[in-house]
């Protein structure tokens, strides 16, 4: 049923920035050494940015140390070299690898970013067979746009890892939650809507057909088992977690 418009094209009841705070899930607490959440075999249903004309991702992160940390990674072979990833660097910059090329944010954030929750988002457009544009967002606001060359890959199965690279090495030391992946180019207005002035929002209502959402709704203290994809595409399995690392109550 269509909503009644407010006169400027937005139906009443639509999920927009300023809505009531979203019931954010718990978080993953990873030790930066061997904790990782991943599909244990190559999958055709897991998020696959290799063959898309655009891809986007978002995650809330609260590090507990300033170090080189991988937050998520996508590799074309099981446990292989990642072609897509997001990392936080010891110089307090952000780095994204897309289609085998790395782009850095160009901004060294204050140390406070490494002790508080922030939402980091990325939207990548494939502009030609050999070029791409990577857009960095923090807390829903665009702060860097970087043009890069690209390589071409054609795998139909791949591996997605959360909290670390597939091997568990160079992982995030700290907390992360609400991993969102899309095979569309997400706009700045949608990232702002998802951030919702720091209150968060439901990605499945804000974004158009996202591929996967990992809200980390598992019980606090969980150290093994699956982390559910709320859209049902591909659940991922925890590996290497030992209490107190695992699902934690700390959240945005």
Would 5 be classed as within a structural domain?
A: no
Would 1 be classed as within a structural domain?
A: no
Would 183 be classed as within a structural domain?
A: yes
Q: Using the predicted structure, report yes or no on whether residue 13 has a pLDDT greater than 50.
A: no
Question: CA 63, 252, 216: angle at the middle one, nearest 5?
Answer: 85
Would 9 be classed as within a structural domain?
A: no
- Averaged pLDDT, 30-55: 94
Domain tally for the chain? 1
Q: Model confidence at 74, in pLDDT bands (50, 70, 90)?
A: very high
Would 15 be classed as within a structural domain?
A: no
Would 17 be classed as within a structural domain?
A: no
Q: Using the predicted structure, report yes or no on whether residue 18 has a pLDDT greater than 50.
A: no
Q: Judge contact between 188 and 139, C-beta under 8 A.
A: no
Distance CA 139, CA 122 (A): 11
- The CATH number assigned to the domain holding 46 equals 2.60.120.200
Query: What pLDDT score does 106 carry?
Result: 85
Q: Using the predicted structure, report yes or no on whether residue 4 has a pLDDT greater than 90.
A: no
Q: Model confidence at 21, in pLDDT bands (50, 70, 90)?
A: low
Distance CA 242, CA 205 (A): 34
Instruction: Give per-residue pLDDT as tens, 112-158.
Output: 888 899 999 999 999 999 999 999 999 999 989 999 999 998 899 99
- For 151, counting Cβ atoms within 10 Å of its Cβ (0-12 exposed, 13-18 middle, 19+ buried), the class is exposed
Would 141 be classed as within a structural domain?
A: yes
Give the position of tokens 């990992």: 214
Residue numbers of the domain that contains 183: 27-248
Would 179 be classed as within a structural domain?
A: yes
Distances (CA, A) of 118 to 59, 145, 246: 8, 19, 20
């Amino acid at each position: 049923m269509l909503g009644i418009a407010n006169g400027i094209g937005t139906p009443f009841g639509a999920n927009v920035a300023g809505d009531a705070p979203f019931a954010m899930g718990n978080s993953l607490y990873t030790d930066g050494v061997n904790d990782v959440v991943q599909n244990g075999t190559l999958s055709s249903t897991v998020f696959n940015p290799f063959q898309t004309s655009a891809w986007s991702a978002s995650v809330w992160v609260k590090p507990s140390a300033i170090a080189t940390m991988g937050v998520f990674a996508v590799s074309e072979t099981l446990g292989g070299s990642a072609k897509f990833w997001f990392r936080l660097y010891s110089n307090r910059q952000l780095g994204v690898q897309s289609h085998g090329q790395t782009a850095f944010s160009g901004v060294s954030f204050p140390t406070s970013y490494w002790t508080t929750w922030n939402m980091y988002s990325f939207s990548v457009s494939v502009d030609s067979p050999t070029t791409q544009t990577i857009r960095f967002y923090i807390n829903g606001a665009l702060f860097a746009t970087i043009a890069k060359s690209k390589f071409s890959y054609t795998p139909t199965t791949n591996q997605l890892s959360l909290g670390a690279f597939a091997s568990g090495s160079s992982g995030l030391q700290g907390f992360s939650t609400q991993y969102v992946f899309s095979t569309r180019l997400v706009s700045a207005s949608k990232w702002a809507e998802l951030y919702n002035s720091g209150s968060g929002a439901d990605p499945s209502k804000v974004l158009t057909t996202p591929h996967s959402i990992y809200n980390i709704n598992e019980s606090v203290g969980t150290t093994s088992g699956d982390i559910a994809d709320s859209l049902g595409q591909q659940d991922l399995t925890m590996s290497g977690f030992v209490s107190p690392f695992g699902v934690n109550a700390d959240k945005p």
